[in-house]
């Protein structure tokens, strides 16, 4: 598919370690700008739950806090990107995570006449991530994310977005797995900050600020690159 330069859909990348707030911010940007959040973590968890061959291979790696193979993740992302709802623009949350994935994305976008509008790096201290991840829960019904301290659900424990009453915690949010996930981030994903700086599309945001403040800062970046 070739896309007219004037109408090509926006492609935003959110880079950041586990617990940086990628998912929280991607959902807010999705609502505000009408873009679609594509989380490879969510896509992989769905594949695991569905028991697909890719999901079966991914499960052990995810449980151990490592990165799933590039082949599996790239195939899953390619399939999702081809769906109709992605044609208005996407926010990539958790992809790419390796240089191989970044190059595969460059190739894919080049083949469809698209480009990356911005790669936004969420800057957080390692210490904050453990606190954020250990307090995290997710609505089983609508996927809205919460935090025991920073973004609690309603007083009766239900979801403020849909009223759902089941809030779940992720299997890979145990302290020992979080340490492995952080290690994988620093070894394999952090180098992408330089990759996108070299490509001239990198912007950094202070993600230690409160959720609403980060959302404001990110909205300004997005506004400036999609208009
Ligand atoms: P994935 O699901 O992508 O997990 P992650 O990158 O580790 O990121 P998280 O979802 O843990 O954190 P987040 O940055 O989205 O933070 P959140 O907004 O929830 O990946 C899981 C696994 O899948 C990987 O380990 C890997 O195995 C595999 N995988 C996925 N993609 C892959 C790929 N491309 N290649 C290979 N393998 C892949 O926020 C966290 C908490 O903090 C929430 O409770 C939130 O309410 C709170 N919070 C958010 N912002 C703030 C703030 N500013 N102040 C205070 N609290 C905040």
The Cα 154–Cα 163 span in angstroms is 9
Numbers of helices and strands, H then E, in the chain: 9, 8
**3-state SS class at 148:** coil
The pLDDT value given to residue 5: 43
Query: Is 59 annotated in the active site?
Result: no
* Packed helices 99-111 and 70-81: angle between N→C axes, nearest 10 degrees: 30
207 Cα nearest atom in ligand 1: 53
Q: Respond yes or no: is residue 174 known to be catalytic.
A: no
Active site residue 181: yes
Question: Does 19 sit in the ligand 1 pocket, CB within 6 Å?
Answer: yes
Q: Spell out the SS3 assignment of 194-223.
A: HHHHHCCCEEEEECCCCHHHHHHHHHHHHH
Q: Give the residue whose CA is nearest to atom 40 of ligand 1.
A: 19
> What does the pLDDT read at residue 158?
96
What is the full DSSP assignment across 108-119? HHHHTT----EE
CA-to-CA distance for 123 and 98, rounded, in angstroms?
A: 18
For ligand 1, say whether the CB of 153 is within 6 Å of any of its atoms: no
Residue recorded with tokens 């998912």:
23
What is d(CA 14, CA 202) in angstroms, rounded to the nearest whole number? 10
Among 106, 104, 143, smallest CA distance to 24 is for 143
Is the minimum distance from the CB of 89 to ligand 1 under 6 angstroms? no
Q: What is the pTM of this model?
A: 0.92
Q: Whose CA is nearest to atom 26 of ligand 1?
A: 67
Encode pLDDT of 85-144 as tens digits.
Answer: 998 899 999 999 999 999 999 999 999 889 999 999 999 998 888 889 988 999 999 999
- Active-site option among 45, 59, 132, 181: 181
Q: Is the pLDDT of residue 174 over 90?
A: no
pLDDT of residue 105: 97
- The residue nearest atom 6 of ligand 1, judged by CA position, is 18
């Amino acid at each position: 598919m070739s896309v007219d330069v004037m109408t090509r859909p926006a492609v935003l990348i959110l880079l950041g370690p586990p617990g940086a707030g990628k998912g929280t911010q991607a959902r807010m940007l999705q609502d505000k700008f009408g873009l679609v959040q594509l989380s490879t973590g969510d896509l992989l968890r769905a594949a695991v739950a569905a028991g697909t061959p890719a999901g079966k291979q991914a499960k052990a790696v995810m449980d151990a806090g490592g990165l799933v193979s590039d082949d599996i993740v790239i195939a899953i992302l390619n399939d999702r990107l081809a769906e109709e709802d992605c044609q208005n623009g996407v926010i990539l949350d958790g992809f790419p995570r390796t240089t191989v994935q970044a190059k595969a994305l460059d190739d894919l976008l080049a083949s469809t006449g698209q480009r990356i509008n911005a790669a936004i790096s969420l800057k957080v201290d390692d210490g904050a991530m453990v606190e954020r991840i250990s307090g995290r829960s997710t609505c089983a019904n609508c996927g809205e994310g919460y935090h025991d301290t920073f973004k609690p659900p309603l007083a009766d424990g239900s979801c403020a977005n849909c009223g759902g009453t089941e809030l779940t915690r992720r299997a890979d949010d145990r302290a020992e797995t979080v340490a492995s996930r952080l290690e994988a981030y620093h070894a394999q994903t952090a180098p992408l900050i330089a990759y996108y700086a070299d490509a001239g599309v990198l912007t950094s945001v202070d993600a230690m600020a409160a959720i609403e403040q980060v959302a404001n800062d990110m909205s300004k970046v997005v506004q400036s690159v999609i208009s």
